[in-house]
Amino acid sequence: MTGETNLSKLIKGMTPKLNKGEYVFASVKDVSNIDRESTVCEFKEREGVTIVIKREKADELGLAYNYVASWITLMIHSSLEAVGLTALFSKELAEHNISCNVIAGFYHDHIFVDVNDAGKAIQVLTLLSKKK
């Protein structure tokens, strides 16, 4: 199943959805004692493995973090080969002083924003989808 590549269709159909909960990014040297069902995703870096995990689970595991985020999913099936989607929505969020951390999955783009900016980010993304 191929995702959408047309930028206009992607923007119009992106339908941002705010997922429940608060999420954190933590770096760990060893993931073997962390249940993979608990993590949203992970990325191996030379310095350690970055995991995205619910805040309460990170607290339970005693993981250190300094950024608490809300997780927004763009509900359109975007192609990994699509050009311009990330640039367009990240620019729009930046113009509203909202930082974003983007993770592309096979089906959807996922945006992590500061927990205090979640409502504003949903509003900005929804307005963007309506004006394109």
Q: What is the DSSP string of 80-98?
A: TT--SHHHHHHHHHHHTT-
Residue ranges of the alpha helices (H) in 14-117?
55-61, 85-95
Q: Minimum mean pLDDT among 23-27, 31-35, 100-104, 110-114: which range?
A: 31-35
pLDDT(129) > 90: yes
Residue 11, exposed/middle/buried by CB under 10 A (0-12, 13-18, 19+)?
Answer: buried
pTM of the predicted protein model: 0.94
Residue 107, phi then psi, degrees to nearest 5: -100, -35
Q: 1: pLDDT confidence band, cut at 50, 70 and 90?
A: low
- pLDDT for the residue 131: 82
